[in-house]
Chains A and B, each alone.
Chain A
Amino acid sequence: QKEVEQDPGPLSVPEGAIVSLNCTYSNSAFQYFMWYRQYSRKGPELLMYTYSSGNKEDGRFTAQVDKSSKYISLFIRDSQPSDSATYLCAMRFKAAGNKLTFGGGTRVLVKP
């Protein structure tokens, strides 16, 4: 079993819909959680960074962390074709020196 599980997709939604992404993890010691967006042939771009259970909102993006269930989510409201990309969740321990453990990534396609 992988430490971080993420559905590879592809996830196809119509423009304007809400995109719902999630990751589950097995190690309760993970403390910091990130979501990255990666376009084809580009490096990952940080979208959200959280370290506590609950919700965090930034523009059209909302990140949720449920440490008791070992489950994190990312929601994208009013999705646009430019949101079409691969979304990677990542997490790390408190004292890991920033060594990240990544999910496998979910490919998202927003159709106009």
Chain B
Amino acid sequence: KAGVTQTPRYLIKTRGQQVTLSCSPISGHRSVSWYQQTPGQGLQFLFEYFSETQRNKGNFPGRFSGRQFSNSRSEMNVSTLELGDSALYLCASSWSGGAYEQYFGPGTRLTVT
């Protein structure tokens, strides 16, 4: 069974630009969650999508948005990038959502200059 894939793996953007990250979950998984990992803050929850609907949302500004398609693939968008958005963005999928045994992708390393 193929794991969670994320594209691109690395990205460099400049302040003010926008970026779209993609996540393909494990086949059959309907829940996709997004996390931001930074050295000082650890893993912070962004949002969770289940069957194309946003089910949970973390405490991030509206510049961070996402969506999920009918095949469960998900995209995350960050508009008007700031230097502080530089981080590893991780996507995790699970069959039912919530906390139960999420499977993480390798992440997308975003650098904002």
Decide if A and B are genuine partners.
no
- List chain A positions with a Cβ less than 8 A from chain B: none
